A and B are shown apart, each in its own frame.
Chain A
Amino acid sequence: MPQPLKDARHLVRMAGLFLVAGVGFLVLRSALIPAGFGELGHYRSGALDDNARVEPRFAGRGACAECHDLAPEELAGGAHAAIGCEACHGPLAGHAADPDTEVPPALDTRSLCATCHAAEPAKPGWFPQVVAAEHAGDDACDECHVPHQPGV
């Protein structure tokens, strides 16, 4: 009986090894890839639902306006008019839902204002920016400035 592969058995073994590795990889792959991957794009489609289920941490300006007088006369035309309340006061969805138990933290204006107004060469020249120590010593920003209506 002719044995065409008699002298190439080692090669068949090698090929077999590759085949086993390849099949093993495919099995591993099917076990490791999360369900829904690739359905909508190069991601797990269930991630959308997961994200949708996350409780929002920000309430939004509308929620603030329900209770607080946002003093439109203060904000209107002010340089900060377009900035959302929670940009400075922090995420306050909890406070909006239950104002009595969840109280917003007091703000440290020196570090808070510096977030935007610390001097930095990469910022455009027209943007108000200061080196706090030179500008105000140890004083807090809101000793002179009114954050809701900036400008001295």
Chain B
Amino acid sequence: MDSLLAQVDGFMYPNEIELQWSVLIVLYPYITGLVAGAFILASLERVFNVEAVKPTYRLALLTALAFLLVAPLPLQLHLGHPERSFEMYLTPKTDSAMAMFGFVYLWYLMGVLVVEIWLDYRKDIVLKARSSTGPVRLFYRALALGSDDIGPRALEIDDRVGRFVTIVGIPSAFLLHGYVGFIFGSVKANPWWSTPLMPVVFLFSAIVSGIALVMLVYMTVSWLRGRTVDMTCLDTIARYLFYAFLIDFSLEVLDLIHRMYEADESFKSLDFMVKTRYATAGVLTLIGIFAMRWNVVIGGQLFSKSFLGYTVYKMGFATREGMLPAILLMILPFAILWLLIRVLPPWLGEGDRGVVETAEG
């Protein structure tokens, strides 16, 4: 008790002294944001025909998939009893936004991402199946669903359907991440979270972080493969990153100005947070979306509903919700991405989609 009280400043309600939403809950919106952002970058090429970013198209999709597969794990680890999460699907509770996450997630994973990746890779998968033998051949044939048809007409259909899926995918990506923002934005008891701007702010910060991630992955992968980085591509990505960042920054400033002008009862409490606890993190927010997620999730729990007190967050290291599992969870998607790249190399059909060509190896 005394050790807990030592971290309290001012007046805190007893249930507020210890933070319930840990670093894992920071990780969850961060990872889903990376997914949404990576997908938006991929759709730039597919839907908006930004040819320059083409070299990152497939990489962006695989990155989105790798991170999406990891996205629910922080939640599972935070809540415990992962076996119970399946019950969200069995007995859906439609009036709870949190309980509907399973469906938002499943739709985005299976309805959008997997289908789009499959359609885009189908030609390569079939070619791989043709050129390999034994179990590898069986694996790729199964991936191709036993189909061997990569005639021009079939590929054209794939392209059209793929484009349609991407178009559906954009609002879906917005839904996935806007939803995460909505969860926080609708916690009306917490003035730090409760704003209708939250989904939009989350979305644009997601785009910023996702684009930045794919850019880094692309540079790393090119470096590992000993290939030169396509500078036009990188410049274009950086430009979009800058646009997204501008919008994100404007939204955050808008949020802050709005809070300052509104100056409701909670403001003195928030103002103190902005000026002291987050002086450092505030600077970091400008360069790292993770810091923003941290500010939102952890920051929202540091002040009392009494608006008269503050607590601090002590993160464990090798505990269930400590730093170590958080770090491992951040490494895991890269391991999955590495595996995905091994199975479905993004550079196999590099260049002209829709034309049959032999695999380059």
A residues apposed to B, CB below 8 Å: 7-11, 13-14, 17-18, 25, 29, 32-33, 37-38, 42, 120-122
Are B149 and A9 closer than 8 Å at their CB atoms? yes
Chain B hits for A11, CB < 8 A: 157-158, 161
Known A8-B154, A14-B118, A120-B1; judge A33-B147 contact (CB<8 A): no
Chain B hits for A42, CB < 8 A: 91, 93
Q: In chain A, what residue has the closest Cβ to B155?
A: A7
Are A10 and B93 closer than 8 Å at their CB atoms? no
Are A7 and B91 closer than 8 Å at their CB atoms? no
Cα-based distance from A37 to B122 in the complex (angstroms) = 43
Q: In chain B, what residue has the closest Cβ to A21?
A: B110
Cα-based distance from A10 to B118 in the complex (angstroms) = 11
Cα-based distance from A7 to B150 in the complex (angstroms) = 9
Chain A hits for B91, CB < 8 A: 33, 37-38, 42
Decide yes or no whether B134 CB sits under 8 A from chain A: no
CB distance from B221 to the nearest CB of A (A): 28
Decide yes or no whether B115 CB sits under 8 A from chain A: yes
Given contacts A10-B149, A13-B145, 14 further A-B contacts (CB under 8 A): A7-B153, A7-B157, A9-B149, A10-B145, A13-B146, A13-B147, A17-B145, A18-B110, A29-B89, A29-B90, A32-B90, A33-B91, A42-B91, A121-B5
Interface size on B, residues (CB 8 A): 23
Chain B hits for A13, CB < 8 A: 145-147
Cα-based distance from A39 to B158 in the complex (angstroms) = 45
Q: List B120-177 residues whose CB lies under 8 Å from chain A.
A: 122, 144-147, 149, 151, 153-154, 157-158, 161
CB distance from B60 to the nearest CB of A (A): 22
Chain A hits for B90, CB < 8 A: 29, 32-33
Decide yes or no whether B361 CB sits under 8 A from chain A: no
B residues apposed to A, CB below 8 Å: 1, 5, 13-14, 89-91, 93, 110, 115, 118, 122, 144-147, 149, 151, 153-154, 157-158, 161
Interface centre among A7, A13, A17, A25 (most CB of B within 10 A): A7
Cα-based distance from A14 to B158 in the complex (angstroms) = 12
CB distance from B84 to the nearest CB of A (A): 12
Are B122 and A10 closer than 8 Å at their CB atoms? yes
Are A9 and B153 closer than 8 Å at their CB atoms? no
Known A29-B90, A120-B1; judge A10-B161 contact (CB<8 A): no
Cα-based distance from A13 to B122 in the complex (angstroms) = 13
Chain A hits for B115, CB < 8 A: 14
The listed residue (A10, A33, A37, A120) touching B154 by CB distance below 8 A is: A10
The listed residue (B110, B146, B154) touching A7 by CB distance below 8 A is: B154
CB distance from B149 to the nearest CB of A (A): 6
Cα-based distance from A45 to B18 in the complex (angstroms) = 36
CB distance from B5 to the nearest CB of A (A): 6
CB distance from A45 to the nearest CB of B (A): 13
Chain A hits for B1, CB < 8 A: 120
- The 3 A-B pairs with the shortest beta carbon distances in the complex, nearest first, are A10-B147, A122-B14, A7-B153
CB distance from B114 to the nearest CB of A (A): 10
Chain A hits for B122, CB < 8 A: 10
CB distance from A8 to the nearest CB of B (A): 5
Cα-based distance from A10 to B23 in the complex (angstroms) = 43
CB distance from A147 to the nearest CB of B (A): 25
CB distance from B10 to the nearest CB of A (A): 12
CB distance from B17 to the nearest CB of A (A): 9
Q: In chain B, what residue has the closest Cβ to A17?
A: B145
Cα-based distance from A29 to B90 in the complex (angstroms) = 6
CB distance from B98 to the nearest CB of A (A): 14
Cα-based distance from A86 to B189 in the complex (angstroms) = 36
Interface centre among A11, A33, A37 (most CB of B within 10 A): A11
Interface centre among A10, A11, A37, A122 (most CB of B within 10 A): A10
Cα-based distance from A18 to B118 in the complex (angstroms) = 13
Chain B hits for A122, CB < 8 A: 13-14
CB distance from A59 to the nearest CB of B (A): 32
Q: In chain A, what residue has the closest Cβ to B15?
A: A122
Known A37-B91, A121-B5; judge A7-B147 contact (CB<8 A): no
Are B145 and A14 closer than 8 Å at their CB atoms? yes
Cα-based distance from A13 to B149 in the complex (angstroms) = 12
- What are 22 sample pairs from A and B whose C-beta atoms fall under 8 A apart? A7-B151, A7-B153, A8-B157, A10-B122, A10-B144, A10-B145, A10-B149, A10-B154, A11-B158, A11-B161, A14-B115, A14-B118, A14-B145, A18-B110, A29-B89, A32-B90, A33-B90, A33-B91, A37-B91, A42-B93, A120-B1, A121-B5
